Amino acid sequence: MSTNPKYLLGTEANRIFMASETYELLNFGKGFPAAVGGSGWLNADGTIDPSHGEETWITSRMAHVYSIGHMLGYPGAGELADKALAGLTGVLHDDKNGGWYPQVHEDGTPEPGKVCYAHAFVILAASSALLAGRPGAQELLDEALATYDKHFWDEEIGLAVDTWNTEFTELDPYRGLNANMHTTEAFLAVADATGDNSYRVRAGRIIDHVIGWAKNNEWRIPEHFSSDWTVELEFNADKKDDQFKPYGATPGHGIEWARLITQWALSSFANLEGAEPYIEAAEHLFARAVADAWNADGTVGLAYTTDWNGKPVVTDRMHWTLAESLNTSATLYSATGKDEYAQWYATFAQYVDEHVIDHQGGSWFHQLDKDNHVIGTVWPGKSDLYHAFQSTLIPFLDPAVSIATAVKNAA
């Protein structure tokens, strides 16, 4: 591990390094507002790539980021958050059927379907905007929760369904954990922002399922399921690098779940005794992910996916997996006091600085190959700021509290 103070948790040098990144990212993303409202997809230079139109998940992420930016005092962040929110109340909203289109194309036509993943991000955006005091945030949050509760939350099993048709009349048989992971994040954010603890309880129900599946699978989390929640380990075996549903295990998700589980446990139990089994599960998930994917193919970095024996399948490095690695290693260090997590944080911070941050062009490269050359087959450009931005803050905030509430509390 590096001994450079810039990478060591708890040093002034590390805090300055990450704080300068916070500011740099907010600066880079300022050009996101699309003419029709909402956010465009950012190119490598921060301009908008019009071919992506406007997407609900990216618009929501930008609303979330700039709401937090506003609470940090970044000049103009509040107005930028409002421009993202205008996309969620305007062009991306389905006024006829309710809910949000996944995307509105460049020619103005909406992408069909209603996707849980996108709706979870609307909830996250609205809860952050509420904390930032943005106009209309409460109404947006109320509608987003009502829509989600009606169509996506399955109270009986305690998990979220994945995809409807546009009219919410036909439900796709696919069930997925990616949407449930961001639902967990959104539910924790709502519980923290509003004090409604029923959403924290729901997050715990999802987490219990995930830990059960992972434990029965050597701590590699199954991602894809049929309509009755039967595990489908071979899903997308012929489309291994799918943007949202890749084949096999995604170590970055094991790492991300480890943080969310720790956050939920720390916020749900009055004593550490109750939280301990969950933190232990989080440690297993983290350990499995780094054992399988870190430097696993002879070069430095974290492989994107592995098969069910832990052998790398897609060896590209995605920037979000490193952002989550920073978050989780710091969170586990805070929760356990074990030095190994501080060492992991330093290792990841050095890698991010040397390979992932674009020191010339700004922001972070979104995709590298296994030799750490920039590529764009899955993630062209630098679509949004969310993962990178959060990783410059979460390691320094209360690990029991969602990022927006933690920033507000710290202020």
Instruction: State the pLDDT confidence band at 271, using cuts at 50, 70 and 90.
Output: confident
pLDDT digits (tens, 9 = 90+) for 187-223: 999 999 999 999 999 999 999 999 999 999 999 999 9
Query: For residues 42 and 25, what is the distance between their CA atoms, to the nearest angstrom?
Result: 12
Exactly one of 70, 182, 253, 319 is catalytic; name it.
Answer: 253
pLDDT digits (tens, 9 = 90+) for 378-406: 889 999 999 999 999 999 999 999 999 99
pLDDT digits (tens, 9 = 90+) for 40-73: 999 999 999 999 999 999 999 999 999 999 999 9
Q: What is the pLDDT of residue 102?
A: 98
Q: Tell me how far the alpha carbon of residue 60 is from its chain's centroid.
A: 11
pLDDT digits (tens, 9 = 90+) for 355-385: 999 999 999 999 999 999 999 988 899 999 9
Query: For residues 37 and 323, what is the distance between their CA atoms, to the nearest angstrom?
Result: 28
Q: Determine contact, residues 268/200, Cβ cutoff 8 Å.
A: yes
**Structural domains of the chain in order of their starting residue, each with its CATH number:** 5-410 (1.50.10.10)
266 by DSSP, 3-state: which? helix
Q: What is the pLDDT of residue 398?
A: 97
Q: Determine contact, residues 19/392, Cβ cutoff 8 Å.
A: yes
Structure tokens belonging to residue 314: 């897609």
Catalytic annotation present for 387: yes
Query: For residues 306 and 65, what is the distance between their CA atoms, to the nearest angstrom?
Result: 31
Query: For residues 229 and 224, what is the distance between their CA atoms, to the nearest angstrom?
Result: 9
Q: What is the pLDDT of residue 411?
A: 86
302 by DSSP, 3-state: which? strand
Catalytic annotation present for 359: no
Q: What is the pLDDT of residue 272?
A: 85
